Chain A
Amino acid sequence: MTSHAIVIGSGAGASVAAGVLAEAGWDVTILEKGRNRFRGLGDPAGLGPPLFGGDEVGADRFAPGNPRTARTQAQAAAGVARSHVGALNNLPQTAGGGTIHWDAKVPRFWDIDFAMASEYGPVPGADVADWPFSYGDLAAYYDRVEDVIGVAGDADAEPDFVKAHAPRGPYQMPPGPPMYGATVFVRGAEARGYQPYPFAMAHNTVERDGRPPCNNCGFCSHFGCTIHARAGAAVTFLHRALIAGATLRTRANVTRIIAEGGRAVGVAFRDGLSAEETIEADVVVLAASAIESARIALLSGIGDSSGLVGRHLCFHTETFAAGRVAERLHQYRGRSGSHCMMEPAVPDKATARWFGLPYLRGGVVEIGGAPMLVEEAGIYGDLPFGRGRNHKSMMRSSPFRDHLCSVQMIAEDLAQRTNAVDLDPGVKDIYGLPVARITYTPHRHELIAGWYWGPKLAACLSAAGASTTYFVPPALNFLTGGNPIAPDTRHILGTLRMGTDPAASVTDEFGRMHDVPNVVVCDGSTFPTSGAFNPTLTIMATSLRASTALAHGDDTARVGPVT
């Protein structure tokens, strides 16, 4: 008898699982909360033009009705229910999930990311844990995901320390054109002895998989790619899953997983505003992204015998460095960045000792990119007396966009048991269900790493000839980013931690909930640690490993993908 899987979500992790199961002959139903903004999704004849464009006003209009709430750890200890209600690190809720807006930077995690606890020791005040598998266990899945989505990069240009930590073969395509603004920083970084190189990005630089090469439109991060040059979950794995026979139900908001005696038997959801309905399932794949997957587990009352559901929530922290350059950088041309620099991702033991930490670690530095125009206008407007004629002058001279050379370091966020998602006792969503409440405070490790690397990045800008260079350390940019509690990286990880010990983790190495093994978690929520890199390639590879195990059995999964 054919097995029936319900896949919750249609984003990065979900689409991979749906694709694997559908292609393995399973009966797959995908329940996606958002709408489908594609034409021709799942049509073997190919994708049509999508229903989104290079439109800054629309891209920022997240549908109301799904607020999150938040508070700091100190506020939680003082009994404050919440200090923020509204958006918090929101990912798009639509067919394709977060990868509709991502800019497809797809570095691999390093070997040490899977073994930080054993290789670098515990960190006081944090709950760092090893992953239940190694880089070597995941490598074949990385290869396979990269092959399906298509990655442009230059393996030879990677510095030796990157090659050693994340050994790999050649990329599918050569990198796209370097952005002029990025090359300014690269020049300064090289002068300071660093080795920046072309960022591995999942956008076509040649026609591939029926999708055209990128034409450098500039509306990349925060926008859907209107010509399908950039890969995301939708145009790759989800499209394939639908072609292989999976059913996609959009506007299907999962309210709970129904479990009986340690097994999931089905899923309850609401189609638009109509009454709750249920579908039976042999297996439930949970992949609604880390915050929402934890919320669904809590709403369902499953998986929490360890008391760890929702805990170990990680984002990444961001440190900005910027400087003014004389010429206009025209970063509205090209993708949202073209280079990266990895030296800050190397754990630094010597510096860490001053602060009683075993290591200090920043993360990937993203090079290139600039604010869009409405965004720029908002930046000046928040300055004292930044409105009125001053605003016009600044928009004309563009100190914070066209003349700003800036980079951001996306840094490891150490897992803490006390950083958590729970159900807000007072605030409800449009369906009348309690929203996710985030309790979060970064560990001092992250703050120190930002203060340590910020000036070094600013020095690269000075070396590149930029004037008035400065940096914005983490925490400060939570405040300027519009939400007061959490960083705005759109990287959301942890909450349903995987591990071998059911008392210390929620899921096993294949994403199966220890308490309910036919609930298989396939998104970023299983990550035991956040790593120091953009996470989505690793989410997809981890999902591929888990769903391969599901479709074909553990033993083959250890060896590599079957399809």
Chain B
Amino acid sequence: MGSSADRFGRRTLLRGGRDLALLSLAPAPLVGALTAAAPAAAQAEDAGTGGYFLTAAELETLAAVCDRFIPGPPEDPDPGALDAGVPNYIDLFLGAFLVGGTPRIWAGGPFSDRAGATHDDFADFLELDEIEELAWRTRIEGSLGIPEREWGGPVEGLQQKYRKGLATLDDLARARGGRRFHQLPTWFQDVLIMFPQWGLGEFLDLVWQHSIEGMYGAPEYGGNRGLAGWAYTQWPGDSQPRGYTAAEVSEP
């Protein structure tokens, strides 16, 4: 396995599912030239290996959790969360309003380009209207004392939940194992995240939910890279506009 720095360096290539789709059609040297020239990509490299919201260190911890939740080779024969870019999916969601462009909350429609359409509509994410933006900013960023976000009282955002949860996990790892979470042996990591008694259950349930979305959801959201989550599960994913024939429906 490469270092987590390598893995997250790659995310700049994934910025904008549609761009990626276009790039994947271009010859390799051209891809190199294009990405090197792209200012956004250069900027992110300069910022180090951090994500849109999570810091480099937080991403290390998160990646280790995702890797334990959905392990890949050699532990399991098929690609796991890191191969599929699950931490990238989570960071993109937490940083939905930091990425620039339309937040990746709702993929567009009707069709991706995986089942017969030429354009990937999913990658044309829906613009949020003012109500949706207020609602999603509140959920993701928290209410932060802003009066119009406190219709239901103060809200702890997903960003704070992750920041706090990942720090608590590292603290626990240091207290029990003398090292940060991602530096512990995998069996030790499992003891810390698979057992409920450390009081991290709610946070880990959140990471779990996001991990399976990133692993098994549409790749436009930034996970399921190379359709890693669909291939080994024999899941064809969205099927329009091709659909299935009557025989495919009715026969064994």
Which of B3-11, B34-42, B170-178, B208-216 lies on the face that meets chain A? B208-216
Q: Mask for B9-47, Cβ within 8 A of A = 1, else 0? A: 000000000000000000000000000000000000000
Contacts of B233 in A (CB 8 A): 373, 395-396, 398
A332 to B212, CA, bound (A): 18
Q: Mask for B185-218, Cβ within 8 A of A = 1, else 0? A: 0000010001000000000000011001101111
Contact A332 to B107, CB < 8 A, known contacts A178-B249, A391-B70, A392-B70: no
Contact A55 to B217, CB < 8 A, known contacts A64-B135, A215-B244: yes
Q: Is the CB of A381 within 8 A of B107?
A: no
B242 to chain A, nearest CB (A): 8
Q: Is the CB of B235 within 8 A of A272?
A: no
Contacts of A373 in B (CB 8 A): 216, 229-230, 233, 235
The A contact surface, by secondary structure, is loop
Residue from the list B107, B216, B232, B251 in contact with A374, Cβ < 8 A: B216
Contact A51 to B109, CB < 8 A, known contacts A219-B239, A396-B78: yes
Contacts of A219 in B (CB 8 A): 238-240
A401 to chain B, nearest CB (A): 9
A391 to B194, CA, bound (A): 12
Residue from the list B76, B107, B130, B208 in contact with A53, Cβ < 8 A: B107
Q: List 27 A-B contacts (CB under 8 A).
A: A49-B109, A51-B109, A53-B112, A53-B121, A53-B122, A54-B238, A56-B217, A61-B105, A65-B134, A176-B246, A177-B247, A179-B249, A183-B250, A216-B249, A219-B238, A226-B241, A227-B241, A251-B131, A272-B129, A373-B229, A373-B230, A374-B212, A377-B215, A378-B209, A385-B194, A396-B232, A432-B151
B198 to chain A, nearest CB (A): 15
Interface: A211 (CB within 8 A): no
Contacts of A58 in B (CB 8 A): 105-107, 218
Interface: A218 (CB within 8 A): yes
Q: Mask for A212-254, Cβ within 8 A of B = 1, else 0? A: 0011111100001011000000000000000000000001000
Contacts of B244 in A (CB 8 A): 215-218, 333-334
A374 to B230, CA, bound (A): 10
Interface: B111 (CB within 8 A): yes
Q: Is the CB of B240 within 8 A of A381?
A: no
A217 to B190, CA, bound (A): 39
Interface: A78 (CB within 8 A): no
B residues sitting closer than 8 Å to A (CB atoms) are 68-71, 75-76, 78, 80, 105-112, 121-122, 126, 129-132, 134-136, 138-139, 148, 151-152, 190, 194, 208-209, 212-213, 215-218, 220-221, 229-230, 232-252
Interface size class of A (residues with CB under 8 A): 35 or more
Q: Which residue of B lies closest to A178 (CB)?
A: B250
A214 to B244, CA, bound (A): 9
Contacts of A347 in B (CB 8 A): none
> Which of B111, B132, B242 has the most chain A CB within a 10 Å cutoff?
B132
Q: Mask for A43-60, Cβ within 8 A of B = 1, else 0? A: 000000111111111100
A178 to B246, CA, bound (A): 8
A214 to B75, CA, bound (A): 42
Interface: A388 (CB within 8 A): yes
Residue from the list B110, B138, B249 in contact with A49, Cβ < 8 A: B110
Q: Is the CB of B134 within 8 A of A273?
A: yes
A273 to B129, CA, bound (A): 10
Interface: A315 (CB within 8 A): no
Contact A388 to B194, CB < 8 A, known contacts A396-B233, A430-B131: yes
A326 to chain B, nearest CB (A): 10
Contact A55 to B132, CB < 8 A, known contacts A64-B139, A377-B212, A392-B76: no
Contacts of A378 in B (CB 8 A): 209, 212
B175 to chain A, nearest CB (A): 22
Contacts of B135 in A (CB 8 A): 63-65, 430
Interface: A490 (CB within 8 A): no
B178 to chain A, nearest CB (A): 23
Interface: A141 (CB within 8 A): no
A378 to B229, CA, bound (A): 14
Q: Is the CB of B69 within 8 A of A388?
A: yes
A417 to B232, CA, bound (A): 51
Residue from the list A65, A180, A217, A226 in contact with B252, Cβ < 8 A: A180
A37 to B190, CA, bound (A): 43
Residue from the list A65, A224, A327 in contact with B151, Cβ < 8 A: A65
Contacts of A385 in B (CB 8 A): 194
Beyond A53-B109, A53-B111, A180-B250, list 6 extra A-B contacts (CB 8 Å). Answer: A55-B218, A334-B244, A381-B212, A396-B233, A428-B151, A432-B151
A537 to B83, CA, bound (A): 46
A180 to B247, CA, bound (A): 9
Q: Which residue of B lies closest to A66 (CB)?
A: B135
Residue from the list A65, A214, A387 in contact with B131, Cβ < 8 A: A65
